[in-house]
Amino acid sequence: MDHPAAPIDPRRHAALRRLELRVVRRLDGLLHGEHLGLRLGPGSEPAEARLYQPGEDDVRHMDWSVTARTTVPHVRDLVADRELESWTLLDLSPSMDFGTAQAQKRDVAIGALAAVTVLTQRVGDRFGAHLLHDGRIRRWPARSGKNALLSLLSAVAATPHAGAAPRPDLAEAITDLARTRPRRGLRVIISDFLDPTADPAAPAPWERPLRRLASRHQTLAVEVIDPRELDLPDIGLITMADPETGRTREVHLSARVRRRYAHAAAAQREAVRSGLLRCGVPHLTLRTDRDWVRDIARFVIEQRRTAHPPPPHTPATPR
């Protein structure tokens, strides 16, 4: 169901405003004035020239002046200047409330949502969101501007912590996103991609809908993890709780248990990485014990370099 904008509590507004300013200032500094955002696409504003790729590039975009100077075919990309819609699917299931480092995974996910909207706004996109919470899908309509961003962040921050059951279905949510938002654009999935019901030996349930989504839209997967999900400390007897089911159990963290846990955690993360690779979706990992703003900036820079590799040095033609 779609949710209209709601009044923002003044104290929450101030906190979210500080988050927005932190993201904007850090990204501006780390990206060194790069204002192209996340998206590549056709438009009317020329970008940098690059080598022509036969069979992939449109000959109508050939840059004849650069081609004449270098004697090597070049095309010139165009910056997208039309208004598009970017949609983010944000996982707010109970496992996202976990965190043992500088923040909870939920906090990092909200920060990633803010960063994604800031970057997509730079090319004039409208942004909306689907929120997975307590087994329901909440839909936030696409808008643009700072007030819309603060309203969206306020709605997400005001969402109460999810109960132990039922768990939202990520595969169903991705399918719903593809069905309700058919217009081509950017789609971002922010989740820990944890599914206790999935068969470790089989592809994850979200793979098929994500592959279909990526076939039509530019898609990005943001995986949020906490260091304690990768290994356990040597602290002896401890009571552990499953955030998805609410069950508790006393566990003695012996060296053998810790080794088995680390092995299972590494296998689970490798399964997520492999699944996203099979879907052809770029994969960004954010951790609660790292500077996630810097990691986002590095990812954007790397994606730009991959999409537009620098042309090889062409020696000057002797006259």
Q: Tell me the one-letter amino acid at 36.
A: L
Does one domain contain both 197 and 224?
Answer: yes
Does one domain contain both 139 and 69?
Answer: no
Q: Is residue 1, in this structure, part of any structural domain at all?
A: no
Q: Tens digit of pLDDT per residue, the chain (319 long)?
A: 555 444 555 655 566 677 776 777 777 666 654 444 565 554 444 556 788 878 767 787 888 988 998 999 988 766 444 557 889 999 998 888 888 878 889 999 999 998 888 887 766 678 899 999 877 889 988 888 888 888 888 888 888 876 655 555 899 999 999 999 988 888 999 999 987 666 777 889 999 999 999 999 989 999 999 998 888 888 888 787 776 667 788 888 888 888 998 999 999 999 999 999 999 999 999 999 999 988 998 888 887 766 555 555 555 555 4
Residue 317 φ then ψ, to 5°: -80, 125
Q: Three-state DSSP class for 128?
A: strand
Does one domain contain both 94 and 200?
Answer: yes
Does one domain contain both 74 and 152?
Answer: no
Q: Where are the alpha helices (DSSP H) in 31-70?
A: 64-70
Provide the pLDDT for residue 35.
Answer: 45
Does one domain contain both 107 and 209?
Answer: yes
Does one domain contain both 143 and 166?
Answer: yes
Q: How many domains does the chain have?
A: 2
Provide the pLDDT for residue 120.
Answer: 79
Looking at residue 175, the DSSP 8-state letter turns out to be H
The model's pTM is 0.75
Provide the pLDDT for residue 3.
Answer: 52
* The token pair that represents 111 in the structure block: 């920060």
Judged by phi (left if over 0) then psi (alpha if -120 to 50, else beta), residue 75 lies in beta
CATH number at residue 126: 3.40.50.410
Does one domain contain both 211 and 74?
Answer: no
Please say whether the beta carbons of 169 and 204 come within 8 A.
no
Q: How many CB atoms lie within 10 A of CB 287?
A: 20
Q: Is residue 203, in this structure, part of any structural domain at all?
A: yes
Q: Is residue 254, in this structure, part of any structural domain at all?
A: yes
Please say whether the beta carbons of 193 and 170 come within 8 A.
yes
Going by C-alpha positions, the residue among 52, 123, 55, 128 that lies closest to residue 85 is 128
Q: Three-state DSSP class for 224?
A: strand
Provide the pLDDT for residue 4.
Answer: 46
Q: Which domain holds residue 181?
A: 10-28+84-292
Q: Is residue 304, in this structure, part of any structural domain at all?
A: no
Q: Is residue 165, in this structure, part of any structural domain at all?
A: yes
